[in-house]
A and B are shown apart, each in its own frame.
Chain A
Amino acid sequence: MDSFGSRAASLAFALLLAAPAAALAQESTLTALRTSDADRYDPQRTTTLAAAEVLYMVGETLVTLDRDLKTVRPGLAERWEVSPDGRTYTFHLRRDVSFCDGKPFTAAAVVGTVERWLNPDFAGVSKWKAGKVESIKALDDHTVEYRLKEPYSELLYQMTQFNFVIIDPEQAAALKDNFGISAFNGTGPFCFRSWKPRTETVLTRHEAYRWGPAFMENAGPAGVARFVWKIVPEAATLVAALQTGEGDLSYSVPAWAIAEVQANPKIRLLNPDVAFRTHYVGMKITRPHLADKRIREAISLAIDEGAIADAIFFGEAEAANAYFSKATLDFNPGMKLGAFRYDPARAKALLDEAGWVAGPKGVRMKDGKPLSLNFYGFTGDTNRQMAEAIQGDLRKIGVDLKVELYDATIVWGKLRTQDFDLYQMNYPYLSAGEAMNLYFLSSNMPTPNRMNWNDPDTDRLIEEGNRATSPEARYSAFAQAEAIVHEAVLWKPLVNEKLTVVSRTTLKPFKPHGISGAALYNGLDLIPAK
């Protein structure tokens, strides 16, 4: 009794002390939870989503993407001109922008940023996104000329990606390897305060910020004084932390927990208009059985993508029947997509037609050989469930699928080999053109063109699309290439993942942004509820 009494007294005392502090913290701090951290916060040396999430908040790009992920909007450049030959881009910069340390933003920062990234001695990543740059120079303090050796039709779209975040080149030169680790000076609505790797990244409001893009509700300054990105590696723990209010929002909540959090009245779910991540099964067409298109089509028709979306993703994904979302830039709506439905009867008919007849144990045979294929995939709950569902569906049409699931450390090496028939993958993309460039060029064999799709027409059309100098010409070339690769049935598209932000009611409702999967984008619209 005695100890209970003293404990109650000390608890009451603690509550008395904590109450105002908690109210203050609640008003001025928001905490987002995620499962993994970046290797560093240098936009030119990382490819991780975790880095993009922070870099979009502390830094900005010359141009940015509207919520439809198709329309390029002004960012740090208020306007730009493209020369008729498509090789010279002139950017006119905003004059009211300053870095977190108070230094004004000028053309020198843009030139310094691109020069550092493209410096041949520098181990920068994703340099292809910049195009074949001939020169970049400052025409005056607020005008930059970006010259290419050849036209690059998607340059402006690529420039909206986080690798193009404008850095403070002087700081980068001074900090060397520590840049993006100990400090990062940017022009974003938040300033980089501190980083404890695999624990938390703390950002504070950039008080002078007033230049937010027009499609955001809030032009600046940010609605919250302090923003913390906290790492909770275990998904179940992350869900519990959201439920108890330890964190305010997250979009790393696994699909199986969505129903559970939905029941909590203090939690709401928010979705961006569009977001692009597609799961698919790729087929290696140089393997003995898969050279026959009828077999590829049968495999595609046998897999029930709708059931995968509804059951495995609990409806947090939509069934896909093209290699990328129909909402993506340059998607060709005229393509024939009949091969990507779920139609097991037609699948069986195709296999009959190809001469594969029922054999012992339900596996089809031809010339004494069973229709047995092998499949490389990833370990992890959702991937494993998808692999098993695919295996189960193919078994029903008499295809024996040998599933081999590998850990993330081994799987990329395995996927480089020629030893598999089918493989499982999911990928984020910016546009149809980007997906075409990544997967279907013969120069990208054996990876990421793991299908070994080697077609001169596809190569020529993609190249034509890349060099196009008008949106119409670019669309026309990409659309033809898209039709060819869909016609050939090289993938079975499974689902397009939805991006679901789980937010506590401590925040006002806001509209997430689908850019690169970094749903909070620059964080301007994150405003604590009063």
Chain B
Amino acid sequence: MSAQGPASTVTAARPSRPGMFQRLRSDKVALAALILLLVIVAAAVFAPLLTPFDPYHTNLRLRLRPPGGAHLLGTDSQGRDLLTRLLYGTRTTLVLGFAGVAIGTLIGGTIGLLAAFYRRLEGPLMRIVDVLLSFPSILFGLALAAMLGIGMDSLVIALGLSASPRIARVTRATAATVMQAEYMEAGRVIGLSDATLIHRYLLRNCAASIVVYCTLQFGETILLAAALGFLGLGLQPPIAELGSIAAEGRSFIFLAPHVSTAASLLIFVIVLSCNVLGDAFRDLTDPKLRR
């Protein structure tokens, strides 16, 4: 804040968010969600340092051991340490969520901005988006995963494509409001190119809303990745992924309930934290809700 000087007047078109993190601190639930998420991300990133076990070392003679002893959370159906599998699984799941949302934002954001900027494109582009939106996202993801085959790349594309229509909607709605602002008109009058207008004025003023929406979409994408993994259209063994771990434990739900329960709880916590955090960000960045 202290660095505010003449430079800030030049970039006045950017939305300013003074004290956002300070205000986040007053929202106890959101803060808890943020801390939880940071801990989970840190645990996933530093997984190899946190666990002495090899996530891919199988030993059928040690399978489905209950929690306790050397294996803190027990072992899975292949006798691998479950905690280790969950840490590596979280890694995969988070990467899937992040990459999926990134691709979704790239596609959806571009469609949304173009539709708002070029009014004659709006009709055709948004009708395509409407068609995509009318598919339940799990069905859409299933169809794409079946079409593109199995593997990390195609899974990320499937996740991105199924996230894109919603992001396109949100982007277009925000961008349409920004388009009516006087500085857009002013930019046009002084002869800025379309690319500059979109990049410097439109995108930057929409960015906050898109980012907030992405936080919510992140949880949804993780859930979809887990669902596809659960249905067997996710990643191939031996890669650990939370949805597949939950699915694998389903057969043993009576025999060894810890496998499915632990993986499902972890998905639940990650998705809930994302949603709480997304809500908090929306409140914080919405000028109309400023206290």
A-side residues, CB < 8 A to B, are 254, 256, 259-260, 304, 307-308, 310-312, 379, 381, 384-385, 387-389, 391-393, 395-396, 402-405, 407
Flag if A388 contacts B237 (CB, 8 Å): yes
Across the two chains, which residue of chain A brings its CB closest to B79? Answer: A311
9 CB contacts below 8 A, A to B, read A307-B61, A311-B79, A379-B232, A384-B232, A384-B237, A392-B78, A392-B238, A403-B237, A404-B150
Q: Is A387 within 8 A of B237, CB to CB?
A: yes
**Across the interface, do A254 and B251 meet the contact criterion of CB distance under 8 Å?**
yes
**Residues in chain B within 8 A of chain A (CB atoms):** 56-61, 63, 77-79, 150, 232, 236-238, 248, 251-252, 254-255
The contact of B61 among A259, A311, A379, A387, by CB within 8 Å, is: A311
Does the CB pair B58–A392 fall under 8 Å? yes
Contact status A407-B78, CB under 8 Å: no
In the bound complex, CA of A381 to CA of B61 (Å): 18
Asked if A256 and B232 make an inter-chain contact with CB atoms under 8 angstroms apart, the answer reads no
Q: Report whether over half of chain A's contact residues are helix, strand or loop; otherwise say mixed.
A: helix
- Residue in B56, B57, B232 whose beta carbon sits within 8 Å of that of A407 in the complex: B232
Instruction: Identify the closest chain B residue to A382 (Cβ).
Output: B251
Contact A385 B78, beta carbon cutoff 8 Å: yes
Most buried by A among B60, B232, B255: B60
The answer to whether A311 and B63 have CB atoms under 8 Å apart is yes
Which of A311, A312, A407 lies at the interface centre, i.e. has the most chain B CB atoms within 10 A of its CB?
Answer: A311
- Quote the shortest CB–CB distance from A303 to chain B (angstroms): 11
Are A405 and B232 also in contact (CB < 8 A) when A311-B63, A395-B56 are? yes
- Kindly list the 8 A-B residue pairs having the minimum CB-CB distance in the complex, ordered from nearest: A392-B58, A307-B60, A311-B60, A388-B237, A379-B232, A381-B251, A403-B237, A311-B63
Q: Which residue in chain A gives the minimum CB-CB distance to B56?
A: A395
Give Cα A396–Cα B248 distance, bound, in whole angstroms: 22
* A393–B60 CA distance with the chains assembled, in angstroms: 10
Find out whether the CB atom of B58 lies under 8 angstroms from the CB atom of A384.
no
- Residues from chain B with a CB closer than 8 A to the CB of A259 are 255
Question: Which chain A residues lie closer than 8 Å to B63 at the CB level?
Answer: 311
Q: Kindly provide the distance from the CB of B85 to the nearest chain A CB, expressed in whole angstroms.
A: 12
Verify A388–B78 contact, CB threshold 8 A: yes
**A388 nearest CB neighbor, chain B only:** B237
Q: Kindly provide the distance from the CB of A464 to the nearest chain B CB, expressed in whole angstroms.
A: 42
How distant is the Cα of A294 from the Cα of B150 in the complex, in angstroms? Answer: 31
The docked-state distance in angstroms from the alpha carbon of A405 to that of B77 is 17
**Nearest opposing residue in chain B for A406, CB measure:** B150
Q: In angstroms, how far is the closest chain A Cβ from the Cβ of B94?
A: 23
A388 and B58 contacting across the interface, CB-CB below 8 Å: yes
Cβ–Cβ contact B248 & A384, under 8 A: yes
Kindly list chain A residues whose C-beta atoms are within 8 Å of the C-beta of B255: 256, 259-260
User: Are B60 and A391 within 8 A (Cβ)?
Assistant: no
Q: Pick the most buried of A308, A310, A388: most chain B CB atoms within 10 A of its CB.
A: A388
Query: Which of A304, A379, A407 is close to B60, meaning CB atoms less than 8 Å apart?
Result: A304
A381 cross-chain contacts in B, Cβ below 8 A: 248, 251
| Chain B, Cβ-Cβ closest to A311 | B60
Cα A260 to Cα B78 in complex, Å, equals: 20
Q: How far is the CB of A240 from chain B (nearest CB, A)?
A: 11
Besides the contacts A311-B60, A311-B61, A405-B150, what 16 more A-B pairs have beta carbons closer than 8 Å? Answer: A254-B251, A256-B255, A310-B60, A381-B248, A384-B232, A385-B77, A385-B248, A387-B237, A388-B238, A392-B56, A392-B57, A395-B56, A396-B57, A404-B150, A405-B237, A407-B232
